[in-house]
């Protein structure tokens, strides 16, 4: 059976006896009769109530998540803390202060109702800070923590901050740290990827200070960061301009790609046209050569240098490769082919005739 229930039952019983004894004694007294029995009954009830009061101060019934700090009023020091379960203290010389050592939370956000506040202050309780470039920033956070049950740290916590440690320590310390860290960043940095770095820096500082003062930080949650309307609008305008510039850049790239494709296509068409023209030219040349075989001979002679003797290119002992008469006639219409005597042409393999000796010798 719960000790608290027994103490309460004892108190109610004593109160009932007091009311019953005092009531009956008053009735008998009005009738002129003695009521010693009822008077003693009322006195007994008072004694039970006194016992209940003393017992409630001397008996500690602690839950598993509770621990009691025991302060000795006669010596001014502390006795070992009492943990979950039933314990006894001297109601005259000792004072017990019970602390909850389960996980707790304290929230500072822009809360519109008590549920959003979650153990914090209802309304806009977010922390206002100012960045290094002068922009106002509002940070909403939730701190998850617990009281360190260690005896020494628990006694120090009781001395320094007392039972109202949330408002005396948790709240002002956290707000001060957040303002200090925010002042090291630019607003644009907190609007981008450096927000995570800022959150980690705040959590490290809060954890160190809470540990020093007898608390254990479980987690530190940044619920949100708000900027001024002017800054938010400026950032949105900048992002929109960057998006438009990026789209314009993509459009230019697409147009350049289309232009390059058109240029390649046009070059292909031109190359195809040139190839067809060359093929047609070759066909016409082939047709002309077929109809006029002497054309090749004529072009050959036309491309010879002016100081080249056509006849010198032909070996004397070889048959003619070209029709020189026809060639020379094409080159010079007044040309008359010379007559070469047959006797001056030595047969192949015979010595040429010796020239006649001058003077008939």
| Tokens of residue 30, six digits | 């009005």
Entry pTM: 0.56
What integer pLDDT is reported at residue 6 of this predicted model? 73
- Integer Cα distance of 182 and 137 in angstroms: 8
SS (H, E, C) the chain: CCHHHHHHHHHHHHHHHHHHHHHHHHHHHHCCCCCHHHHHHHHHHHHHHHHHHHHHHHEEEECCCEEEEEEECCCCCEEEEECCEEEECCCCCEEEEEEECCCEEEEECEECCHHHHCCCCCEECCEEEECCCCCEEEEEEEEEEEECCCHHHHHHHHHHCCCCHHHHHHHHHHHHHHHHHHCCCCHHHHCCCHHHHHHHHHHHHHHHHHHHCCEEEEEEEEEEEEECHHHHHHHHHHHHHHHHHHHHHHHHHHHHHHHHHHHHHHHHHHHHHHHHHHHHHHHHHHHHHHHCCHHHHHHHHHCCCCCCCCHHHCCCCCCCCCCHHHHHHHHCCCCCCCCCCHHHCCCCCCCCCCCCCCCCC
Q: Computed over its alpha carbons, how large is the radius of gyration of the chain?
A: 60
What integer pLDDT is reported at residue 244 of this predicted model? 72
Instruction: Give domain limits for the chain.
Output: 3-100, 104-227, 294-335
How many other CB atoms sit within 10 Å of the CB of residue 44?
15
**Contact assessment for residue 107 and residue 141, using Cβ atoms and an 8 Å cutoff:** yes
Fold of 104-227: Tetrahydropterin Synthase; Chain A (3.30.479)
Distance of CA 128 to the CA centre of its chain: 24
Task: Provide the terminal-to-terminal Cα distance of the chain, rounded to the nearest Å.
Answer: 175
How many other CB atoms sit within 10 Å of the CB of residue 127?
20
pLDDT tens over the chain, length 361 residues: 466 677 677 777 888 888 887 887 787 777 777 777 778 888 888 887 877 776 667 778 788 999 999 999 888 899 999 998 877 788 778 888 999 999 999 999 987 654 555 555 667 889 999 999 888 899 999 999 999 999 989 999 999 999 999 999 999 999 999 999 999 998 888 878 888 999 999 999 999 999 999 999 999 999 888 888 777 676 667 666 777 777 778 888 888 888 888 888 888 888 888 888 888 777 877 877 777 776 676 666 666 656 655 544 555 554 544 555 555 555 555 555 555 455 444 454 444 444 444 444 3
How many other CB atoms sit within 10 Å of the CB of residue 111?
20
What integer pLDDT is reported at residue 38 of this predicted model? 78
């Amino acid at each position: 059976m719960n000790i608290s229930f027994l103490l309460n039952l004892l108190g109610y019983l004593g109160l009932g006896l007091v009311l019953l004894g005092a009531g009956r004694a008053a009735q008998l007294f009005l009738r002129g009769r003695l009521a010693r029995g009822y008077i003693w009954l009322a006195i007994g009830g008072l004694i039970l109530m006194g016992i209940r009061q003393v017992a409630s101060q001397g008996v500690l019934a602690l839950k598993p998540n509770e621990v009691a700090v025991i302060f000795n009023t006669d010596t001014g020091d502390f006795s070992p803390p009492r943990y979950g379960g039933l314990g006894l203290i001297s109601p005259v010389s000792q004072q017990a202060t019970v602390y909850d050592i389960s996980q707790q939370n304290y929230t500072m956000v822009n809360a519109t109702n008590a549920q959003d506040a979650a153990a914090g202050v209802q309304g806009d309780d977010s922390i206002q800070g100012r960045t290094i470039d002068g922009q106002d920033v509002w940070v909403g956070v939730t701190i998850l923590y617990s009281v360190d049950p260690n005896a020494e740290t628990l006694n120090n916590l009781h001395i320094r901050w007392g039972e109202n440690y949330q408002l005396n320590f948790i709240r002002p310390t956290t707000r001060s740290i957040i303002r200090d860290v925010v002042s090291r960043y630019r607003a644009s940095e907190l609007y981008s990827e450096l927000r995570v770095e800022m959150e980690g820096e705040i959590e490290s500082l809060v954890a160190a200070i809470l540990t020093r003062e007898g608390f254990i930080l479980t987690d530190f949650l940044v619920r949100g960061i708000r900027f001024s309307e002017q800054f938010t609008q400026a950032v949105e305008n900048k992002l929109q301009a960057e998006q438009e510039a990026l789209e314009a850049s993509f459009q230019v790239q697409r147009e350049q790609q289309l232009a390059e494709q058109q240029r390649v296509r046009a070059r292909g068409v031109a190359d195809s046209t040139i190839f067809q023209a060359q093929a047609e030219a070759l066909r016409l040349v082939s047709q002309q050569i077929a109809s006029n075989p002497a054309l090749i001979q004529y072009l050959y002679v036309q491309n010879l240098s002016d100081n080249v003797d056509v006849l010198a290119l032909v070996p004397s002992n070889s048959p003619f490769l070209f029709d020189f008469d026809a060639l020379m006639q094409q080159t010079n219409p007044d040309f008359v082919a010379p007559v070469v005597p047959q006797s001056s042409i030595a047969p192949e393999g015979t010595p040429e005739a010796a020239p006649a000796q001058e003077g008939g010798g």
